[in-house]
């Protein structure tokens, strides 16, 4: 596959929102495009490089889904299982009929601590409790509590961040292991991902990028997000690791082929998002593309994989808005096959 995107068009997209991050296209074993723009640390003048680790925001929801499916394969969970027995007395406003599958497909109807159907701004301060308490899964319980059920389970699609933190909690309670450890051993180790991890924002290594609120200036997202990501997002990736991940997933090294088929079976057509949804993965609306994406204060991300050609198109941005013009330019060049769900995309 070749992407018919001129250098001038790509430069214009990069300049549109001052893209800062890493853009790669990998076709099989060959990298056909690589651009590194901006700074991982602006104040110190540390530039982004191909090996920079950048937060993918909600892009790691697919990893949460894979952890759940690994537990399903091991017989520890069932997709139809109600979540109430594992929640016990926690989160009492979650309907007793909500199942694991409802959470995976964003059809649970549970109230969300970050309601994407509301009118909030990306740089809002959404947490009322100290962010340093949001380092482990159980610590999120106060943030998830108190939100009434929005609609009966299974009625419709409603993107739900809190539901994926609940999935991480279920994974911990059924396995007796921490969620971050499960992601490391059940996905990263199996796929050979050496640069991907849930990093603490107050303890970032030198090869990790800060997340910037704007295209210019030094303000970061450290006061906007949990100190460590969890089931709904916040994992750091390198572009190399994302191509490795997609290949490992398709090669059956993370979950069995029939499990992957179940995850990528289109469950819902989401016209407003210009895509379909499986379980933990967005799907091309008119093709077989597999998509991870994320948008948060200081993070703008999409990685699209085209199975037929083993092509991965990844845009990892370490600012709130910078990646979207680049993502849209690539989508247009690919006949709209990876168009998505974020602002100003028609």
Each residue's pLDDT tens digit, 51-87: 999 999 999 999 999 999 999 999 999 999 999 999 9
Residue 324 pLDDT grade (very low, low, confident, very high; cuts 50, 70, 90): very high
SS3 at position 336: coil
Question: What's the mean pLDDT in 259-283?
Answer: 95
d(CA 271, CA 268) in angstroms, rounded, equals 9
Alpha-carbon distance of 334 to 127, in angstroms, equals 38
Helices (H) and strands (E) in the chain, counts: 11, 12
Confidence band of 340 (pLDDT split at 50, 70, 90): very low
Mean pLDDT in residue range 304-331: 95
Beta bridge partner(s), residue 282? 277, 291
Please report whether residue 272 resides in a domain: yes
User: Which residues, in sequence order, are bridge partners of residue 54?
Assistant: 237
If one counts the domains in the chain, the total is 1
The sign one gets for the Cα dihedral 7, 8, 13, 16 is positive
Distance CA 335, CA 29 (A): 23
| 342 within a domain of the structure (yes/no) | no
- From 2-16, 112-126, 179-193, 255-269, the region with the lowest mean pLDDT: 112-126
Residue 220 lies in a domain: yes
pLDDT at residue 318 above 50?
Answer: yes
pLDDT at 337 over 70: no
Give the CATH number for residue 140. 3.40.710.10
Query: Does 3 have pLDDT greater than 60?
Result: no
Q: What is the pLDDT of residue 4?
A: 64
Measured distance CA(132)–CA(70) in Å, rounded: 29
How high is the pLDDT of residue 6? 87
The pLDDT, as a whole number, for residue 211 is 98
> Which pLDDT band, with edges at 50, 70 and 90, does 344 fall under?
very low
Query: Average pLDDT, whole number, for the chain?
Result: 93
pLDDT score recorded for residue 335: 54
Half-sphere exposure of 286 (CA within 13 A, CB side): 9
Residue 119: which domain range? 7-333
Q: Please state which of the ranges 124-128, 216-220, 246-250, 315-319 shows the lowest mean pLDDT.
A: 124-128
Contact 183, 235 (CB under 8 A): yes
Contacts of residue 208, defined as CB under 8 A and 6 or more positions apart, other chains included, come to 40, 52, 53, 54, 199, 236
Q: In angstroms, rounded to a whole number, what is the distance separating the alpha carbons of residues 51 and 20?
A: 14
**Alpha helices, H only, the chain:** 7-16, 61-73, 84-87, 100-104, 141-144, 161-175, 179-183, 189-191, 239-250, 257-264, 324-333
Q: How confident is the model over 23-27, as a mean pLDDT? A: 96
Is 338's pLDDT higher than 60? Answer: no
Give percent above pLDDT 70 in the chain: 95
Query: Are the beta carbons of 101 and 79 closer than 8 angstroms?
Result: yes
Which pLDDT band, with edges at 50, 70 and 90, does 114 fall under?
Answer: confident
How, if at all, do strands 299-306 and 268-270 pair?
Answer: unpaired
How many Å apart are CA 36 and CA 57, to the nearest integer?
Answer: 19
Residue 113 has pLDDT above 60, yes or no: yes
pLDDT (0 to 100) of residue 267: 94
DSSP-assigned letter for residue 111: -
Average pLDDT over residues 245-264: 98
**Number of other CB atoms surrounding residue 272 within 10 Å:** 7
Q: Cα(131)–Cα(125) distance, rounded to whole angstroms? A: 11
The answer to the question of residue 1 being in a domain is: no
On whether residue 176 sits in a domain, the answer given is yes
pLDDT at site 117? 72
**Mean pLDDT across 131-144:** 97
Mean pLDDT throughout 123-145? 94
- Geometric angle at alpha carbon 103, from 331 and 302, rounded to 5°: 20
* Contact between 62 and 115 (Cβ < 8 Å): no
DSSP secondary structure letter of residue 210: P
In a domain, 341, yes or no: no
Q: What is the pLDDT of residue 332?
A: 74
**Residue among 136, 101, 316, 134 nearest 226 (CA):** 134
Confidence of residue 124 (pLDDT cuts 50, 70, 90): confident
pLDDT at 126: 86
DSSP state of 211: P
Domain-embedded: residue 339: no
Give the residue among 341, 231, 279, 268 at the shortest CA–CA distance from 105: 279
């Amino acid at each position: 596959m070749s992407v018919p995107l001129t250098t001038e068009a790509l430069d214009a997209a990069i300049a549109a929102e001052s893209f800062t991050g890493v853009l790669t296209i990998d076709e099989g074993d060959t990298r056909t495009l690589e651009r590194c723009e901006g700074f991982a640390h602006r104040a110190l003048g540390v530039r982004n490089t191909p090996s920079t680790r950048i937060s993918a925001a909600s892009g790691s929801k697919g990893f949460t889904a894979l952890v759940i499916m690994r537990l399903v394969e091991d017989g520890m969970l069932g997709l139809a299982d109600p979540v109430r027995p594992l929640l016990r007395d926690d989160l009492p406003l979650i309907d007793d009929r909500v199942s694991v599958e409802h959470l995976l497909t964003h059809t649970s109807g549970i109230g969300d601590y970050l309601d994407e159907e509301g009118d909030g701004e990306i740089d809002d301060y959404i947490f009322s409790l100290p962010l340093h308490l949001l380092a482990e899964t159980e610590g999120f319980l106060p943030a998830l509590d108190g939100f009434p059920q929005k609609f009966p389970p299974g009625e419709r699609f409603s993107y739900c961040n809190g539901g994926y933190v609940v999935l991480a909690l279920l994974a911990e309670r059924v396995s007796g292991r921490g969620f971050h450890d499960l992601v490391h051993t059940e996905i990263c180790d199996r796929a050979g991902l050496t640069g991907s991890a849930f990093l603490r924002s107050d303890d970032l290594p030198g090869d990790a990028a800060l997340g910037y609120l704007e295209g210019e200036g030094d303000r970061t997202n450290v006061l906007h997000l949990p100190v460590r990501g969890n089931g709904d997002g916040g994992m750091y990736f390198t572009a190399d690791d994302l191509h490795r991940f997609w290949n490992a997933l398709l090669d059956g090294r993370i979950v069995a082929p029939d499990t992957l088929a179940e995850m990528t079976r289109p469950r819902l057509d989401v016209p407003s998002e210009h895509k379909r949804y499986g379980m933990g993965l967005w799907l091309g609306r008119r093709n077989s593309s597999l998509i991870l994406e994320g948008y948060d204060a200081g993070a703008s991300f999409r990685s699209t994989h085209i199975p037929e050609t083993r092509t991965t198109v990844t845009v990892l941005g370490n600012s709130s808005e910078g990646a979207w013009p680049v993502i849209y330019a690539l989508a247009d060049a690919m006949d709209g096959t990876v168009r998505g769900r974020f602002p100003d995309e028609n």
